[in-house]
Amino acid sequence: MIQEDKTVKITVAGTGYVGLVAGVCFAEKGHDVTCVDVDENKVKMMESGKSPIYEEGLEELMQKNNATGRLHYTTDYKSAYKDADAIFIGVGTPEQPDGSANLSYIATVSRQIAESVEQDCLVVVKSTVPVGTNDKVEQFIRDFLTRDVKIEVASNPEFLAQGSAVHDTLHAARIIIGTESKEAEAKLKKIYEPFGLPIVSVNRRSAEMIKYACNDFLALKISYMNDIANLCELVGADIDAVAEGMSYDARIGAKFLNAGVGYGGSCFPKDTKALKYLATQNGYRLRTVEAAVDVNAEQKTKLFHKASNRMITFQNLKVAVLGLAFKAGTDDLREAPSLDNVQLLLESGADIYAYDPVAADNFKKKYPEGQIEKGAIHYVQTPEEALDGANICFIFTEWGEIKAIAPEMFKEKMQIPLVYDGRNIFSIEAMKNAGVEYYSIGR
């Protein structure tokens, strides 16, 4: 009996978090994958086994599948698209000033596909797009087709978290596929069969909405906990104790209950605003999502304003900033609370010494080392360097290297042991016993 070949020839457009992780994981599961990007230097980097993004486990899988010959990279989209069985679109849909999603990259890739494909093909949109976009993509591709081939478009939103993207893809709770035909559904199921994961098959618009509904629900949960944390401070409750009590309720769950200085990254800020915009365009107000956006905006700089009330001025003070990435495990700075706070500190004349184990180079692109505004910023290699002689310390990311600091170190290294912790890393009692003046969120 001849065994059916389960290998699918896949092309992935875009090599950011969504596209590159998807492509590498498809190759890991036995498919033949070509990743397309417009940047020649980026392609050469990936061919050498180097990942352009910091993501745990990604580079090792790239090197492994580069060696097997299942994973390829190119800038030549025409050759990559022409004979692919399936083309996954993983390009960015950045936020526009009005909160809507910028679909220009989706449109560019769609036209390139239409003008390049030479055989029947399934086009799968992994990018987060407003409900109804896949209908437009399918029509757009058909409008620009140059050959007599059949094209179908499916929705396959991703649910990976930066810092654990590879694990989240290979061990997802479920795969969401949105299709408008049994044939397209069967093709997508074949692609995901080697993953051995539950598949939820719905229509395209439902798949698009599932992505937004999930991300915005998590953003709501974070903002709710931050709102409760702010109230805890006023009434003398402890948000950590409150969260622990809530976590045992199966209806609530234990995840996303940590209070802090707000959410950031590439998804939650953009997706909450996009869904809010979509609702407005349809004559509806998503009041809960609007509230989450407002709470998060205020939460990001809560500690700066608290510190401003404590200090006369930041002018010429040495300020230690520990953590720049929006979360641990990534070098991504999109919507990171550190950005808002560093800008305010520089405008206030602070002399900042910043530490982050992986995101410092990206931060330098936004804030080059040296004099900026009324203040200055310097980048250091260890938390201890940042703390040495500091008058005040802000913590914005829960890196292991920061968690490992002994409370006594703040007292020993800092000129004034004054710490504002935006991630509730340290025990209030331990910091007090070490002689540190310590402020956190909701405690």
Tokens of 350: 């602070």
Residue of 25, 121, 267, 393 with catalytic role: 267
Cα–Cα distance between 281 and 298 in angstroms, integer?
A: 25
Cα–Cα distance between 244 and 304 in angstroms, integer?
A: 27
Residue 267 is a catalytic residue: yes
Cα–Cα distance between 124 and 116 in angstroms, integer?
A: 16
**What's at 377, amino acid-wise?**
I
CB 324 within 8 A of CB 338: yes
CA nearest to 425, candidates 6, 404, 42, 251: 404
CB 383 within 8 A of CB 405: yes
- φ, ψ (nearest 5 deg) of residue 10: -115, 135
> What length does the chain have?
443
CB 356 within 8 A of CB 284: no
Cα–Cα distance between 244 and 208 in angstroms, integer?
A: 33
Cα–Cα distance between 300 and 303 in angstroms, integer?
A: 8
Residues 6+ apart with CB under 8 A from 7: 30, 31, 32
Cα–Cα distance between 112 and 150 in angstroms, integer?
A: 16
Positions annotated as catalytic residues are 267
